[in-house]
Amino acid sequence: MNPMIAKFVSQGFMTEEQGQYIEDAIMKKESIVVSGHRSAGIRPLMASLMAVAKAAFPSVQVKGFEDLQTETEFFLIPGIDGIDFEKLIGDAIAVENTAFISLKEPEHPVSLMKVMKANYKAGKGIGKKIHTLECIKVDNVPVLDKITEMMLDENGKIQKKDL
């Protein structure tokens, strides 16, 4: 297992199964959204997952919409203030042959199902997998609570599956 992910396993933040699942998703170039409140450890997790993707694939750190025009395999999208963050995520999903790593937090809300459906209407993002990592605090300790895989099928239905 990648050491950047293994440290979260050794700290008890996630299980070994969850860590391997996340690493496998990155290596298959599937998108990941780290979800939860900042106090649940989402920012350090997102940064580590971005480092894993950046080490394995050509990557671009997105600061605005223009960065989505860059030829790459992974978009690394931190929380960006002052722009339509939900539209930025939707536009990232629409770029063919790419994946992204980002977050979903109270300061940067995103309705993934809404942007996936909008992309379907535009004929984009069909078949792309997005894994949502839901982080919470249990007894004041941050943990990865749930992983959900979502995929937009060719009929416009969002298929969801929990790990």
Sole residue written with tokens 């990557």: 59
Give the chain's residues under pLDDT 50.
none
**140 in the Ramachandran plot: left (φ > 0), alpha (ψ -120 to 50) or beta?**
left
Instruction: Give me the pLDDT at residue 54, please.
Output: 97
Instruction: Give me the pLDDT at residue 32, please.
Output: 98
Instruction: Report the greatest alpha carbon distance in the chain.
Output: 44
Instruction: Give me the pLDDT at residue 103, please.
Output: 96
Instruction: Give me the pLDDT at residue 148, please.
Output: 98
* Residues 69/84, Cβ–Cβ less than 8 Å: no
Angstrom distances, CA of residue 51 to CA of 76, 107, 141, 153: 9, 23, 24, 29
Instruction: Give me the pLDDT at residue 144, please.
Output: 98
Gap between the Cα atoms of 95 and 152, Å rounded: 14
Half-sphere exposure of 114 (CA within 13 A, CB side): 7
- Give exposure, 39-76, as e/b (b: 16+ Cβ within 10 Å): ebbbbebbebbbbbbeeeeebbebeeeebbeeebebbb
Instruction: Give me the pLDDT at residue 8, please.
Output: 98
Gap between the Cα atoms of 68 and 61, Å rounded: 9
* Identity of the residue numbered 67: D
* Residues 33/133, Cβ–Cβ less than 8 Å: yes
- Per residue in 53-70, pLDDT (tens digit) is 999 999 999 999 999 999
- Per residue in 35-45, pLDDT (tens digit) is 999 999 999 99
pTM over 0.85: yes
Instruction: Give me the pLDDT at residue 42, please.
Output: 96
Instruction: Give me the pLDDT at residue 19, please.
Output: 98
